[in-house]
Amino acid sequence: MAKRVFSGMRPTGKLHLGHLAGALTNWVRLQNEYECLYSIVDWHALMSDYADSSKIRDNSKEALLDWLAAGLDPEKSIIFVQSHVPQHAELHLALSMVAPLGWLQRNPTYKEQILNIQNKDLSTYAFLGYPVLMAADILLYKAEMVPVGEDQNAHLELSREMARRFNNFYGNIFPEPQTLLTPTPKVPGVDGRKMSKSYGNAINISDTAEEMWEKIRTMITDPARQRRTDPGDPEKCPVWDIHKVFNNDMEQRQEIIKGCKTAGIGCIQCKKMLMAHIKEIMAPIHERRRYYESHAENLRDIVLSGAEKAKVIAQQTIDEIVEAIGFVPRK
């Protein structure tokens, strides 16, 4: 039997090419190899957006459209919205009963979110307990594998610690989720920094080909290339970093390296080459996205059906916990 994989994404805005090259491409591949559950974790979005939750619903829809456009298949994966499965909140409560305060305060996720989320009051119980909800998401399905990049491995450690601690009190209920290391290529934004919606430098999956080209056309390049005749260094150019992700024509990539270093090609020509590859990759993705945009009823069916499937697994876990803790039986 295939191992079970769980992963989720907060619905905080439109997804971009960084998401596509990283998480989404990996998720699509994994659904052919494992039993996969993918969740739009809207409770996590509320953690940071509690003062204004008006965008969570629309952001959840946009995330789902991008997931399906990228190739996630509801026939292969269980795709659902976190809040549709109330067992997430119940396990979060159970785990919070045994979660040491020191673990939460030293968890890298806690420190990372403090740095990344600006202009919001995060001095809340929910924010401190954010890693416990993350652990609940994973442990609820007894997921054996969680896909993360190399820099995110530490985030899983608290989930493993929570599993060990809970098992120590109440018996061997949870397997310890293992890291499924997945490639996370570097995809810079139009200003050269890491592509991020918070920086306003993203090329979104939902952007049309024309909108993508306008963003790529104006991207910064190697600062040394002030004029067309100036030689450059591809390794100092954000456009080249995107070539390495989306351009699989190795012969052309060698031509670009040579052309850049000798000023044989200009930056606009290089960008046009990149756009040709992105346009080819995005064509079927945009086609799927347009289909689901025009069949909104399918979106609701997908997440509701996914939630029902997820609930079956989740309730089995909750029933075990009720028995192990010694609560009054519910049946």
Give residue-wise pLDDT tens across range 86-128: 999 999 999 999 999 998 888 776 777 677 666 778 888 998 8
Q: What is the pLDDT of residue 181?
A: 86
Separation CA 147–CA 145 (nearest Å) = 7
Spell out the domain ranges in the chain.
4-187+296-325, 207-289
Q: What is the pLDDT of residue 25?
A: 95
Q: What is the pLDDT of residue 52?
A: 93
* R_g of the chain computed on alpha carbons: 22
Of the candidates 304, 308, 301, 299, the residue with the CA atom closest to the CA atom of residue 87? 308
For the stretch 128-169, pLDDT in tens is 898 899 999 999 999 999 998 776 777 789 999 999 999 999
Which residues does residue 179 pair with via DSSP β-bridges, in sequence order?
A: 146
Distance separating the N- and C-terminal Cα atoms of the chain:
30
- Label residue 203 exposed, middle or buried (CB < 10 Å: 0-12, 13-18, 19+): buried
Q: Say if residue 182's pLDDT is above 90.
A: no
14: helix, coil or strand? coil
Q: Say if residue 4's pLDDT is above 80.
A: yes
Q: Say if residue 209's pLDDT is above 90.
A: yes
CB of 256 closer than 8 Å to CB of 270: yes
Note whether 4-187+296-325 and 207-289 share their fold. Answer: no
Question: Which whole number is the average pLDDT over 296-319?
Answer: 97
Which alpha helices (H) appear in 140-266, and where do they start and end? 153-170, 209-217, 238-246, 250-262
Single pTM value for the model: 0.94
Percent of the chain's residues with pLDDT above 70: 98
- Homologous superfamily in CATH for domain 4-187+296-325: HUPs (3.40.50.620)
CATH (one of 1.10.240.10, 3.20.20.70, 3.40.190.10, 1.10.340.30) for 207-289: 1.10.240.10
Separation CA 94–CA 253 (nearest Å) = 53
Which alpha helices (H) appear in 97-152, and where do they start and end? 101-106, 108-116, 125-128, 130-139
